């Protein structure tokens, strides 16, 4: 499976593909939390207990759904005593918040790259949509379920919603650039940006689990990006975006 630059599809644990190569740092928490002994040796070795907790939680969320998973199950999966897991994360919501930061940072890094890249706007927008779909198809859990949970407790996910608004703004700016240059039709940039991102996330929902749809992630990503960008182009003879 193709991996966009900066993305490691094996980071979330359980062998599941589809996530970021690093955990967003909580420097203050990390510096004051030195950790406690595990109940047993974790398959991943000693390493960073926060990484083990996030990996275990991600695998459990994928298998059972976010709401059904308990902190006790996450502790067991990460090789920690249940009391020890609270030393690193105060709640399941905080673990989920760490995962959600990754969810936004992947497309943010892609769109920021394309905002400053050279070349036709259509090609840059096509790469953005394609790589976002690829990333979402690789996530082991339902991003829409996580969105619903974050909406219920906005105070617990402040950083997530701030980055989500930033993502909307960046995609809107890219679309607005294409409209201003005449390369895209005179569409509403904000509505278009939100529609593009929503379409990407809806694709992930029916694609999971990987392969069940009968298509590869690459086939889906190529099709969705081609369909979305060609529908926005002002030119009646669009370029070959897949070259």
* pLDDT tier for residue 149 given thresholds of 50, 70 and 90: confident
Look at 1-10, 71-80, 153-162, 202-211 and tell me which has the smallest mean pLDDT: 1-10
Joined together, the tokens standing for residue 106 give 């992947």
Residue 106 pLDDT: 83
* pLDDT tier for residue 157 given thresholds of 50, 70 and 90: confident
Is 193:168 a contact under the CB 8 Å cutoff?
Answer: yes
Q: Note if the pTM is more than 0.75.
A: no
Mean pLDDT of the chain: 78
CA 104 to mean position of chain CA atoms: 5
Percent of the chain with pLDDT over 70: 77
* pLDDT tier for residue 166 given thresholds of 50, 70 and 90: very high
Higher pLDDT, 13 or 221: 221
Q: Where are the alpha helices (DSSP H) in the chain?
A: 27-32, 49-64, 71-78, 82-88, 92-116, 121-138, 143-152, 158-181, 189-207, 217-230
Q: Return the residue matching tokens 């070349």.
A: 119
Question: DSSP 3-state assignment of 233?
Answer: strand
């Amino acid at each position: 499976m193709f991996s966009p630059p900066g993305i490691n599809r094996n980071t979330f644990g359980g062998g599941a593909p589809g996530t970021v190569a690093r955990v967003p740092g909580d420097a203050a928490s990390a510096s004051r939390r030195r950790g406690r002994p595990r109940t047993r040796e974790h398959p991943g070795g000693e390493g960073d207990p926060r990484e083990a907790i996030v990996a275990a939680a991600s695998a459990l969320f994928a298998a059972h759904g976010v709401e059904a998973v308990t902190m006790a199950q996450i502790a067991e999966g990460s090789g920690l005593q249940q009391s020890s897991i609270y030393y690193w994360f105060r709640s399941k919501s905080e673990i989920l918040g760490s995962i959600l930061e990754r969810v936004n940072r992947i497309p943010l890094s892609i769109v920021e790259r394309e905002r400053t890249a050279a070349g036709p706007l259509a090609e840059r927008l096509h790469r953005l949509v394609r790589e976002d779909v690829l990333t979402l198809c690789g996530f082991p859990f339902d991003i829409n379920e996580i969105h619903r949970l974050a909406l219920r407790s906005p105070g617990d996910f402040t950083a997530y919603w701030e980055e989500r608004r930033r993502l909307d703004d960046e995609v809107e700016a890219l679309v607005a650039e294409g409209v201003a240059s005449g390369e895209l039709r005179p569409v509403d940039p904000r509505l278009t940006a939100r529609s593009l991102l929503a379409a990407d996330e809806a694709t992930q929902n029916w694609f999971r689990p990987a392969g069940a749809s009968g298509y590869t992630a690459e086939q889906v990503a190529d099709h969705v990006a081609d369909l979305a960008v060609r529908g926005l182009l002002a030119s009646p003879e669009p370029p070959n975006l897949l070259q």
